[in-house]
Structure 1
């Protein structure tokens, strides 16, 4: 009879917390380095924030996106993002960065694109220019969205758990968000509105992973009254390991596929989620639980 493949044994006994101190130090170092990187060199804001040009063109024949990307680079208009849109492959979306001469430079860039495409384009379905002022407002509203959503999550945690659990979960959540932003700062990958949405998703995903572990710890503390906090934490991490690996693993498989085959438009979004989920899985084991162990007092054992 066929037996399902088990990547993780039924009763794992992995001593995750044996390296909790160096792991905690590494998390602190990652957070501090990421904070520095966010300010210098800073995030590489995309067209949504810095301003630029958005063009949606319909071609008579299905264009080769790879060749088209090379042609656009030759125009000298900066780093242009291209994405096939629509169902028949005839529509192409171009995102051109803000030009140096402001509106005049943007108009010249649009004309260069029109002249280059010539009669191969049957219709320009959309030509939009995003000014720097609009981009500045988007930065403010996006930052406000992240702050308000994080504040709401923190308020929920404070009422959901007691002090030690809440502070440990908050530490893991802030670590995940800051580490993801630091990754974008050091790689200088475009940070746009879709990336902001990914950061909000990461905060929810990170919270869910940590809450599952802490719920099991609370349950096991009531069940095994003679065990120490460290022993209960060790047991709980191993009991939730299969769920953690399956949830994170299957999600990562989907995201990696989207990153490889989803095109330029969603690449920043999927990359942010990939980094956030990896960091979130790490922090739920090696940051949240060690912080809880530091804050939670040992209760008298029976």
Structure 2
């Protein structure tokens, strides 16, 4: 594979299915090894959380709605500057409508992808869109559709979770100082070529290369460890979100069962009341029938 462009690879990764992210990232980082700087940046990309992945997909699939979000944010900032009270109230209602619409888009995409859309995920999605309304930098991150984590309104330092970041400049090595200062006094030996200098210079260069190689190995190990920890943290978050979603679903099912049982209990209670009323009415009818029978028998005896 030819030389890789980091931005293109990042776009490919964040557009892919979330469960394919890690394997695809590692494959692209391996393919980009001829360019160490690009390979390291690709390897450093973090798997997006469910909420971040959903926001990315909304941004990719619903650009017109994101444009509405951008226009709304601009109108709100202008209204705040002009202290336009009535307009602010109107825009606040519009803000709620737009964010609710985008949240529904995310919910639909979650169902389509087979992801649980828990209350926690829903709040994170809404918070991210709220941040995009509040600040243009957050809006740019949402529009880039390469978030690895949800955004929080009022936290600009967290908005750097967008994947595309400027490449780090290569580390500069300090120029080695000469082993000794040249003598101020002219010397006969100074004009003579030294046989030891080339040998010492080669040794210094070899030592510098060895040191640089060790440092690169340490950095690579640190990057690999950080990447593994990030993947494990993302996996733990996934499991926690899934557990929360399942717990919420069980709670809803239990509430529905309780409501059904209460409805049945109410029906049974009413049925019992109706039956008791029927029993009472039957007893009264029986008593009346007995009295009528007694009276009829008495009249018959009197006739005899």
More helix by share: 2
Which of 1 and 2 has higher RCO (CA within 8 Å, sep 6+)?
A: 1
Higher Cα radius of gyration: 2
More strand by share: 1
Calculate the TM-score normalised by the size of structure 1.
0.29
Calculate the TM-score normalised by the size of structure 2.
0.29
